[in-house]
Amino acid sequence: MVFPQTIKIKSLQAYPNNSPDKLPILVMSKNRNDKITIEFDVQANDQPNLIAVFRFSDKNWKPYDNLFLANQGGDRGYRFSTSILPNTVEEANYHYKGRFPTKKGFVSFPFSGNWRYYITDYSDTSLVYAEGKFYVVYNKVPLSSSIKEDYLEGTDLFPTELNKVFNITTKFYLPKDFFPGYVDEVRIIENQKINYPYTIDRKFNTIKRQYYWNADRKFTFTARDIQPGNEYRQVNLMNVNRFNSKDVSAQYRGIEYSRFFQQGKKDLNGGEILKNFRNSFATYLNVKFSFRAPDDLYGDVYLVGAFNNWTILDSYLMNKNYDLYTLTIPLKRGIYDYQYIDAVDNGKGKINYDWLVFEGNSFETSNEYHIFLYYNEPDLGGYDRIIGYTLIKSK
């Protein structure tokens, strides 16, 4: 009996064009047609035949089960270039890289909105080894967005730095091609926190999320009380002389502490840059993160960063030894933004995540805010369509 080989995907990246530190957003127009680059390492005894399967999804990332939106004939990416990794890389054997859509039309993204990709086996697409998310935007509505510094109203947090907030306002005039009643919501992605959007839903007008329509074609969406946070921490494993063994500490001094009153250095806005896979030093290291928590810590500590798509996961819960929290993870040589999160367990699962208690909150922080306008498109059975997109930056 022949058993299928074990295949592991490592260091998966998806980014626009040739910018590995950017959020994967493809902007399509007559004068601009972006491509998504997908690349990763593979650990396998024999070189597998892998493809990418692309699925159009709703605004909450659930793929549509609709034949009209299936994009049959343009949903399979077969054209990965493959390379054998240097023999110094013990944890992987092969490297795959592809850019989509392809010139000959094997892959196309005809719908504006949220997309998912799945790395699967050529002969059996039910075998999914890895997956990711990206946006495709056909920009039809110009958005005018602005950001303003403000302070929380009706509360007095301590330390007082927590009262500092941004208010982000997006205005637009809806073209006659669209019906005002189908305008749905605005979502804002801070840096690369794709799984934690700020949402302004026109059906729920609150003090923090405000919506205005003049009953004609002028719209205004405002997200209030967005705390800017701090620049991210950063681990830079590029220096071979400094990180010259298999087991290393993320920082030279070993243990890290709260940075609440310390402004961080300029970061990659949540991104990562990996060492070129052809380099013999593009190996994997066991990187130990060590954090000494403040005395008033009230929850668990999680490690989040570019290496786990800024998602709070149980597998990144740090191990506690009195007030010292540690976690060792395998990372390929590169530069990664990251930070520490405090979380409280209410007995029904961990909620009440605090992104600021260890990191601080300052107007000096430079963030990117990706702003998407969603529309309830009635055609083809109905779908969540992005009709407007813009990027603004604080500072």
Domain layout of the chain by residue ranges: 8-138, 144-229+366-393, 233-354
Sign of CA dihedral 215, 218, 224, 227: positive
Q: Which two tokens stand for residue 314?
A: 């149980």
**Ramachandran region of residue 41, left (φ > 0), alpha (ψ -120 to 50) or beta?**
beta
**CATH 2.60.40 matches 233-354:** yes
Q: How far apart are CA 162 and CA 260, in angstroms?
A: 10
Report which residue type is found at 185.
Answer: E
The count of other CB atoms within 10 Å of the CB of residue 187 is: 20
pTM reported for the whole predicted model: 0.95
What are the tokens at 372? 């998407």
The answer to whether the beta carbons of residues 236 and 248 sit under 8 Å apart is no
Fold of the domain built from segment(s) 144-229+366-393: Immunoglobulin-like (2.60.40)
Cα gap 80→127, rounded to integer Å:
17
Fold of 8-138: Immunoglobulin-like (2.60.40)
Report which DSSP code applies to 307: G
Q: Quick one: tokens of 97?
A: 């890289």
Task: Please state, in angstroms and rounded to a whole number, the distance separating the CA atoms of residues 292 and 251.
Answer: 13
Buried b / exposed e over 110-147, threshold 16 CB at 10 Å, is: ebbbbbbbbbbbeeeeeeebbbbbbbbbbbbbebebeb
- List the pLDDT tens digit at each of the 395 positions of the chain: 445 678 999 999 999 999 999 999 999 988 888 999 999 999 999 999 999 999 999 999 999 999 999 999 899 999 899 999 999 999 999 999 999 998 766 899 999 999 999 999 999 999 999 999 999 999 999 999 999 999 998 777 788 899 999 999 999 999 999 999 999 999 999 999 999 999 999 998 999 999 999 999 999 999 999 999 999 999 999 999 999 999 999 998 889 999 999 999 999 999 999 999 999 999 999 999 999 988 767 789 999 999 999 999 999 999 999 889 999 999 999 999 999 999 887 766 667 789 999 999 999 999 999 999 999 999 999 999 999 999 999 97
The closest alpha carbon to 119, from 62, 80, 91, belongs to 80
